[in-house]
Amino acid sequence: MRRLKLYTSAIIVLLSIVISGCSLLENIRQPEILSVRPKITGIDFDAISLAFDVDVNNPYPIPIRAPRFRYGLDIQGNEFFKGDAESGVDLPAAKVGTLTLPVQLSYKDLWRTFQGLSDAKEVDYTLNGALMFSALGKSFELPLSHSGKFPVLRPPAFSNIKASLSEVSLTRAKIAVDADVNNPNVFDLGVQGLGYVLKVGGEEIGGLTASTGGMVGSGETSRLALVGEMPVASSLLRLIRGGKLSDAMITPSGSIQTPYGPVKFK
């Protein structure tokens, strides 16, 4: 009989501890999203890669296991796509943790859906959705939202092209080409790593390098000086001597520098 009373007392104590613990947990405030911080992780002439760092406060004394994202992206106020993704990361106990949602956008898909944006330098977007997880026997959906702009990468444009010859020999001639280079982007471009091809009247000469030119500011136009050599037998030589450069084009090669890393011309 005494043993039974001891067991009963122990069970009552354990139940009291459990009930007390549950009561304490009930008083702990719920997890919440503190901020959504976007960043550009990659860009080229075909697509842009974004990542949204989501800061989440977990007040519970246990980790929250691998929450999931359910999200959508609106462009210019219109739905573009919806998706879901695993975070792959646990939120640490009793502190703020950061989860990252990666999103990649194809310019081709964007222009196909929103044809009026094909010449846009920047695009307005809104990320919306929820962070979903379970903790302490409860299911949570924390709403998340963030609005901003992302840039569209455009190649530099060349105009006002002029060419002249010097040091003409029996086989070779030096060529100097001046041109305006315009940066149509909302960020600065570095053009110091580029090579160039000059095309005039169906003829072309490659291997031109810049003797000037470095950074071109957003929306600005700079004067670019190129130098190279060409064979005297080229019909392009006669065009340049005749001053017929109205149809001249410059095609860049190599890589331009952006704030998000180098981008190679295909």
What are the strands, taking DSSP E only, across the chain? 32-43, 47-58, 68-75, 78-86, 95-106, 122-135, 138-151, 157-166, 172-182, 189-190, 194-200, 203-210, 215-216, 221-231, 249-258, 261-264
Alpha carbon distance 131, 72 (integer Å): 12
Structural domains in the chain, sorted by start: 29-151 (2.60.40.1820), 157-264 (2.60.40)
Alpha carbon distance 110, 47 (integer Å): 9
Residues forming a β-bridge with 203: 200
How many other C-beta atoms are found inside a 10 Å radius of the C-beta of residue 251?
A: 15
The whole-number pLDDT of residue 200 equals 80
The model's pTM:
0.81
**Is 99 strand, coil or helix?**
strand
What tens-digit pLDDT sequence spans the chain (266 residues)?
444 444 444 444 344 444 444 444 455 679 999 999 999 999 999 999 999 999 999 999 999 999 999 999 999 999 999 999 999 999 999 999 999 999 999 999 999 999 999 899 999 999 999 999 998 888 999 999 999 999 999 999 999 998 888 777 777 888 888 999 999 999 999 998 899 998 887 778 888 888 766 899 999 999 999 998 877 767 666 667 665 566 788 999 999 999 999 999 98
